């Protein structure tokens, strides 16, 4: 099929349906080929071979598809994380890759703060239990419940989102620890947190641990059985980063059942939608022992109406710049 247009840009899948916003940003000389699927196996080789650029939302992109991207000048992911993209195969094919790093920074930081504050205030536990109170209404205070300026929050990964979290925590008076080997000396002074050089120290000293680092070989299972055991008894864990950081649901269930972990809030899981697991069954069934102590949101910490527009506009702009200037902004250059 010929459309008379100069470029063909593929979009694998999209959370919002029709790629109209992308079309407006990309312009009239771009034909959009919308695959409308997260199933990589459904991407026909002849359609891949026509693409000048490819935009990816939730689909996996592996070597088999990449082999057919023979015209492609760049692949752009709508989101921040790129563990589903085979960077090595793209590298071998000579195709640069970019993510979309900053569209939802405020939203994820707000989401993490909402989780931290509500679990620290034991909001959901109070709500779950108050339904059953018929007398002595106000005497049912849950203990322990510390004042925010007596509590310590440990931030793992003080990049864009981690820094936005630190900035939001400060006015509440929390003592803030940060662990991030990638940030230069003095970053803690500029941003305003106490740096720990060892993760174990942050785990041992924090009342709340909030995760904001990427999922990679080093961080996978960061809060598995061993990490969870290093936490302060009664600690709270918040994960708006990646499910792989807390990849062992057995260990998480054990920590919650034993009470070693007071509560957890999770926006991202290794498998989404989540598969069956006894912890998730207890959560779904609102089992009494877990009431208000496990909060799960469906990987939408990034979302606001504004962030969604920004995400789609920014990703499409990245492609437009690539087509016009041959340069890929936000290019990921790390070698896998
Ligand atoms: P960023 O790249 O700005 O910051 C990540 C920080 O983690 C960097 O400062 C890096 O030095 C640090 N880091 C790397 N390895 C580390 C390690 N082993 N221990 C501690 N720190 C380490 O990334 P950004 O934008 O702040 O995103 C952070 C996380 O949030 C990513 O995992 C991303 O995938 C996730 N995310 C989740 C969203 C959601 O909807 N739940 C939306 C957007 C991002």
| pLDDT value, residue 81 | 86
The pick from 241, 297, 314 for probing ligand 1's pocket by mutation, whose C-beta has the most ligand atoms within 8 angstroms, reads: 241
pLDDT digits (tens, 9 = 90+) for 130-159: 999 999 999 999 999 999 999 999 999 999
- The arrangement of strands across the sheet holding 294-296 comes to 194-195, 175-179, 152-156, 208-211, 235-239, 261-266, 294-296
Tell me the domain boundaries of the chain: 7-103+305-332, 105-296
| pLDDT value, residue 64 | 96
Rounded Cα distance, 62 and 68, in Å: 11
User: What number is the average pLDDT over the span 244-248?
Assistant: 97
Rounded Cα distance, 327 and 110, in Å: 33
pLDDT digits (tens, 9 = 90+) for 18-76: 899 999 999 999 999 999 999 999 999 999 999 999 999 999 999 999 999 999 999 99
CATH for the stretch 7-103+305-332: 3.40.50.720
Please tell me if the CB atom of residue 81 comes closer than 6 angstroms to any atom of ligand 1: yes
Please state the atom number of ligand 1 nearest to the C-alpha of residue 105.
25
User: What number is the average pLDDT over the span 178-186?
Assistant: 98
Please tell me if the CB atom of residue 154 comes closer than 6 angstroms to any atom of ligand 1: no
Q: Using only the alpha carbons of the chain, give its radius of gyration.
A: 22
Confirm whether 325 is a catalytic residue: no
Fold equal for 7-103+305-332 and 105-296: yes
Rounded Cα distance, 29 and 23, in Å: 10
Closest residue by CA, ligand 1 atom 36: 241
Rounded Cα distance, 41 and 15, in Å: 19
Instruction: Provide the whole-model pTM.
Output: 0.92
The pick from 114, 196, 213 for probing ligand 1's pocket by mutation, whose C-beta has the most ligand atoms within 8 angstroms, reads: 213
| pLDDT value, residue 336 | 55
Residue 22 DSSP label = H
| pLDDT value, residue 275 | 87
| pLDDT value, residue 3 | 60
Rounded Cα distance, 252 and 240, in Å: 16
Contacts of 155 (CB under 8 A, 6+ apart): 162, 165, 166, 169, 176, 177, 178, 179, 180, 193, 210, 212
**Share of residues in the chain with pLDDT > 90 (%):** 94
In DSSP terms, 138 is beta-bridged to none
pLDDT score of 1 more than 60: no
Residue 51 token pair: 């693409």
> Distances in Å between the alpha carbon of 135 and those of 130, 132, 140, 202?
10, 9, 9, 41
pLDDT score of 16 more than 80: no
pLDDT score of 200 more than 70: yes
Contacts of 112 (CB under 8 A, 6+ apart): 161, 165, 210, 212, 238, 240, 301
Confidence grade of residue 335 (pLDDT, cut at 50, 70, 90): low
Closest residue by CA, ligand 1 atom 38: 302
CATH for the stretch 105-296: 3.40.50.720
Describe the crossing of helices 105-120 and 160-169 by its angle, rounded to 10 degrees.
Answer: 40
Average pLDDT taken over every residue of the chain: 96
Contacts of 24 (CB under 8 A, 6+ apart): none
Contact 292, 126 (CB under 8 A): yes
């Amino acid at each position: 099929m010929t459309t008379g247009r100069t470029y063909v840009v593929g979009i694998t899948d999209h959370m919002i349906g029709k790629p109209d916003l992308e079309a407006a940003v990309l312009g009239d000389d771009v034909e959009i080929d919308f695959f409308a699927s997260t199933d990589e196996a459904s991407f026909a080789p002849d359609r891949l071979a026509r693409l000048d650029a490819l935009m990816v939302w939730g689909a996996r992109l592996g070597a088999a598809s990449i082999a057919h991207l023979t015209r492609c000048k760049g692949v752009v992911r709508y989101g921040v994380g790129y563990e589903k993209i085979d960077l090595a195969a793209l590298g071998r094919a000579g195709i640069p890759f970019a993510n979309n790093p900053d569209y939802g920074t405020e939203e994820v930081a707000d989401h993490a703060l909402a989780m931290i504050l509500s679990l620290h205030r034991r909001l959901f536990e109070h709500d779950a239990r108050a339904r059953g109170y018929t007398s002595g209404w106000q005497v049912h205070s849950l203990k322990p419940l510390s004042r925010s300026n007596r509590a310590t929050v440990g931030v793992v990964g003080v990049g864009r989102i981690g820094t936005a979290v630190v900035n939001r925590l400060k006015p509440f008076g929390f003592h803030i620890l940060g662990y991030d080997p990638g940030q230069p000396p003095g970053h803690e002074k500029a941003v305003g947190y106490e740096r720990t050089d060892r993760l174990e120290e942050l785990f041992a000293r924090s009342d709340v641990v909030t995760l904001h680092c990427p999922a990679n070989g080093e961080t996978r299972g960061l809060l598995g059985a061993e990490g969870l055991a290093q936490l302060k008894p009664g600690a709270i864990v918040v994960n708006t980063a990646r499910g792989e950081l807390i990849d062992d649901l057995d260990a998480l269930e054990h920590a919650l059942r034993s009470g070693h972990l007071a509560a957890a809030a999770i926006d991202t899981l290794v498998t989404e939608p989540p598969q069956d697991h006894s912890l998730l069954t207890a959560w779904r069934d609102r089992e009494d022992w877990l009431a208000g102590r496990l909060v799960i949101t469906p990987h939408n910490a990034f979302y606001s109406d504004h962030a969604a527009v920004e995400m789609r506009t920014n990703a499409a702009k990245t492609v437009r710049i690539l087509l016009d200037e041959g340069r890929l902004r936000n290019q990921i250059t790390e070698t896998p």
